[in-house]
Homo-oligomer: A and B are copies of this chain.
Amino acid sequence: MKKYKVVIDVCGSDKGPEMMVRGALAALSEHEELELLLVGDREVIDGVCREGGADMERVEILHAEEVITNYDSPATALFEKRNSSLVKALAALSSREDLVGLVNAGSTGALIAGSMRYLPTEERVRPALAATLPAEKGGFVCLVDTGATIDCGAQTLLHFARLGSAFMKDMYKLDSPRVGLLSNGREETKGNKVVKEAHALLRAEESLNFVGNIEGTNALSGDCDVLVCDGFAGNQVLKVTEGTARRIITDIVKIAKSTGNESYMALVATLMAKYDFNSLGGGIILGVRKPVIKAHGASNEESIKNVTGMILNLAQNKEAFAGRV
């Protein structure tokens, strides 16, 4: 059986390296074709692996004494902390052919900067942090960008469309992912200057299945498989969705309390699980040579297990992630 080795930077998450290791080991138990390169404090990693009875023939440990935190400047951390788990993980991923991708739950900025530095594509394009979110009609929507590139020109949006489309082919084996462009109206005359320009570019791009503008109301409805926008707008889509869900769920809790209707709390649990997009996975850095996933800082074992499985899935569906974009 062919094996796929995923790199896990165990440092930088809110819940500590032990949780990261446990999550990775849970993925190891679930997927027999998976192997791990765990990067961080050797003693800590080793302890958790022994405790969990991990098959150490499938686990490699790379010791790193330094940690890049959210307090470090993303721009300089990579140079100042050369012995950090992130730099060592990225350097290994870049140089070793047997490594298929990386999971990290630390500083987003440092991860993006590092991925661009260590895993550049030939085009050297602007990076995108995509999120795959459950669509109302079923399946997933790949929202790209969600915050890696805040100021985008039309060419960058076109590029994001290509990246997102290639990703959805790899990830969900879609033949021809439907690409939508986030705008303030369905008509092609709607949009800001950049969006209108991007609309024309997307329309002209024969390699893409462009379905036109998508309004915020239907951002996550499932009318498209890839929703293209700049990082500012994508951040709004994610966060306004999150804020609205939180608000409505809080309302239901209040109504449950005031009416004493206990069955409302069952509903709250269902909705919280469904709309807690953070725990679903993480952001995928697109536009780099190998898949890199930024797991949420507050990730738990389950989400680390899931994103490790995503990397495996991507690697299996498309051995060479590069060259598609």
Contacts and interface: CB of A to CB of B under 8 A. Distances in A.
A275 B248 contact: yes
Interface in A245-279: 245-248, 250-252, 255, 261, 263-264, 267, 270-271, 274-275
Q: How many copies does the complex hold?
A: 2
B240 A236 contact: yes
A182 interface: yes
Contact of A240 (B191, B216, B232, B275): B216
A17 interface: no
Chain A interface category by residue count: 35 or more
A193 interface: yes
B236 A233 contact: yes
Contacts of A217: 239-240, 242-243, 246
B150 A247 contact: no
A43 to B, nearest CB: 36
Contacts of A241: 240, 244
A192 B147 contact: no
A301 to B, nearest CB: 25
Contact of A238 (B182, B191, B216, B242): B216
B244 A240 contact: yes
A192 B230 contact: yes
A236 B214 CA distance: 11
Interface stretch (A1-9, A157-165, A218-226): A218-226
Nearest to A149: B192
Contact of A243 (B192, B218, B263, B270): B218
Given A191-B232, A216-B236, A221-B243, 19 more contacts: A150-B184, A150-B192, A151-B193, A182-B236, A184-B232, A184-B235, A192-B230, A215-B235, A216-B235, A216-B242, A217-B240, A219-B239, A236-B236, A236-B240, A237-B240, A240-B244, A244-B244, A248-B248, A251-B274
27 contacts: A150-B191, A151-B192, A183-B232, A184-B231, A184-B236, A184-B239, A192-B230, A195-B232, A216-B236, A216-B239, A216-B242, A217-B240, A217-B242, A219-B236, A220-B244, A221-B243, A232-B233, A233-B233, A233-B236, A236-B237, A240-B244, A248-B271, A251-B274, A252-B267, A255-B267, A255-B270, A261-B263
